[in-house]
Chain A
Amino acid sequence: GEDVEQSLFLSVREGDSSVINCTYTDSSSTYLYWYKQEPGAGLQLLTYIFSNMDMKQDQRLTVLLNKKDKHLSLRIADTQTGDSAIYFCAEFRTGKLIFGQGTTLQVKP
């Protein structure tokens, strides 16, 4: 398909790990990104991964990339209530950032 796809909603308990999945479209995409959007705010770049990497870790965040399946995931360890937000994945394609529709992460205390 032509769209970057994500599941719409994920609910976890505080302290658990969260895994947000994304399927992108273009196997030649060079960079893939994860953004966080809190209510009433713009998007904040969380992390990105270059297409020749399989994994990237940054503190509580781990990005996994499966190029064969065009699948990207974001794992948040020890999820906190402050992690509640909408998470967007994006691929860099034809000179543009193409976003998924966003996954709302709800963290229950």
Chain B
Amino acid sequence: DAGVIQSPRHEVTEMGQEVTLRCKPISGHDYLFWYRQTMMRGLELLIYFNNNVPIDDSGMPEDRFSAKMPNASFSTLKIQPSEPRDSAVYFCASIRGLAGASEQFFGPGTRLTVL
């Protein structure tokens, strides 16, 4: 397995544009998390899915953010319209089981810059 795959690795866009971040989790993992990392706020949980179903999206900052997981092998995080304050590194994490799971892997992240 190639691990958690995220694309793109870097995205530079202008304010107001739509941004779509993609994540391919590890096969067989039943939980998928989206995190955002900034210097100011550290690591923030945005949303997580269990068996493709969104369980907790209370961390999604605004209605401009949406996430989907149409199947077990793919998830997207969309920002529309994007704003400069959305600039951050967005991580996807794939976990088998939940608490205490030693099988948890983070993707390399997507570095988003909104000008």
Contact = CB atoms under 8 A, between A and B. Distances in A.
Interface of A: 30-31, 40-45, 48, 50, 88, 92, 95-102
Interface residues of B, number: 20
A42 B107 contact: yes
A102 B42 contact: yes
B109 A42 contact: yes
A9 to B, nearest CB: 14
B40 to A, nearest CB: 10
Contacts of A97: 33, 45
A91 to B, nearest CB: 10
A72 to B, nearest CB: 15
13 contacts: A30-B99, A31-B99, A31-B100, A40-B108, A42-B4, A42-B93, A42-B105, A45-B105, A48-B102, A50-B100, A92-B98, A92-B100, A97-B45
B43 to A, nearest CB: 4
